[in-house]
Amino acid sequence: MPDRAAVAFDDIHKSYGETHALQGVSLEIRVGEVFGLLGPNGAGKTTLIRILLDIIRADRGSVRLFGEALTREHLDQIGYLPEERGLYKKQKIVEVLIYFGRLHGLSRADARVRALHWLDRVGLPEVAGWKVDRLSKGMGQKVQVAGTLLFDPELCVLDEPFTGLDPLNVRLVQDLIEERRDAGLTTILSTHRMNAVEELCDRVALIHDGRLMLYGDTDAVRAEHSGAEVRVALGNDLPPVPEVTDSVLEGEGVWRLRTTPETTVAGLVSALVRAGAEVSHVEPLLASMQEVFVRVVQERQRDQSQGRESLS
């Protein structure tokens, strides 16, 4: 994957009166990756996205797109699926999609061909002539995904793209995101579905209270915030060893072990073998993105609470 930056945010600050929505956020999103932009509600994610889309301007800092200072002309390269939905309820679906394509410079004929193609891709070829108000919530979400992707944007921002979708259609949208990565196109994914982040995102950033709290490779972030847990498969019973502080039997011969902080995987295996265990498999366990998210946000909230107490 190229290391060239598709998007570079440098020292972004934005305030609304006394509220500091973003406080010095700097990060890069690489060409061809799926990048997870995470954070609790009100953290500053939407503000950062709106600055990227030139809907609002930063008070300080800069944004570069594919190595160039962001201009209005760059917006034709960006597809955006907002969390707030925006289909015209009394219009025919194919006409709405044609309109979206025309906004990004497609001819009417080309936009129509792509609209029908993308309706087929999301499993809704039969709704082209329907009016939007006939759609269920999930169908409407898939139509908006089609409208976002139909002009093959170099950069796509998807804000909660799985809303209203059943598991089969969540998988469908995940497949479309993975196809974009395979084609060398860049996707920013903002979602609270942490399992999707683990499956899809090459790298992540977590923003809380307008500050960048986490940033890096997804598995590296998980590893950094993981506890000392290991899964082992044994051919006999688990012997007691001082390196293990807790154990849970997950299945026949398969144990989830919590170890002392200083114990390495190699050290654990050696201790088990010395104690007579028949070890056939061992793997360190990464914290889930859900666990990382909750832990980081709660630690920040605890630090803020202690800071307020010290001032009172």
pLDDT higher than 80, residue 227: no
Closest C-alpha among 231, 229, 204, 228 to residue 296: 204
Query: Coil, helix or strand for 254?
Result: strand
pLDDT by residue (tens digit) across 114-171? Answer: 999 999 999 999 999 999 999 999 999 999 999 999 999 999 999 999 999 999 999 9
Q: How high is the pLDDT of residue 181?
A: 97
pTM for the complete prediction?
0.85
| Sheet order of strands, 254-259 included | 244-251, 254-259, 229-234, 279-284
pLDDT by residue (tens digit) across 252-288? Answer: 999 999 898 888 889 999 999 999 999 999 998 888 8
Give the C-alpha separation, 179 to 263, whole Å. 41
Query: How crowded is residue 14: how many other Cβ atoms within 10 Å of its Cβ?
Result: 22
pLDDT higher than 80, residue 3: no
- As beta bridge partners, residue 208 has 211
| Sheet order of strands, 5-16 included | 19-30, 5-16, 60-65, 68-69
* Residue that the structure tokens 């953290």 belong to: 43
Mean pLDDT, the chain, rounded, equals 92
Domain with CATH 3.40.50.300 in the chain: 5-217
- The pLDDT confidence band at residue 5, using thresholds 50, 70 and 90, is very high
* Cα–Cα separations (whole angstroms), residue 114 to 50, 94, 155, 169: 27, 10, 18, 20
In the numeric block, which tokens belong to residue 51?
């600055």
Q: How high is the pLDDT of residue 310?
A: 64
| CB-neighbour burial class of residue 25 (10 A; exposed 0-12, middle 13-18, buried 19+) | buried
Q: How high is the pLDDT of residue 304?
A: 72
Residue 239: partners with Cβ closer than 8 Å, 6 or more residues away: 272, 275, 276, 277
Q: CATH class for domain 5-217?
A: alpha beta
- The pLDDT confidence band at residue 312, using thresholds 50, 70 and 90, is low
Residues 213, 296 contacting (CB under 8 angstroms): yes
pLDDT higher than 60, residue 2: no
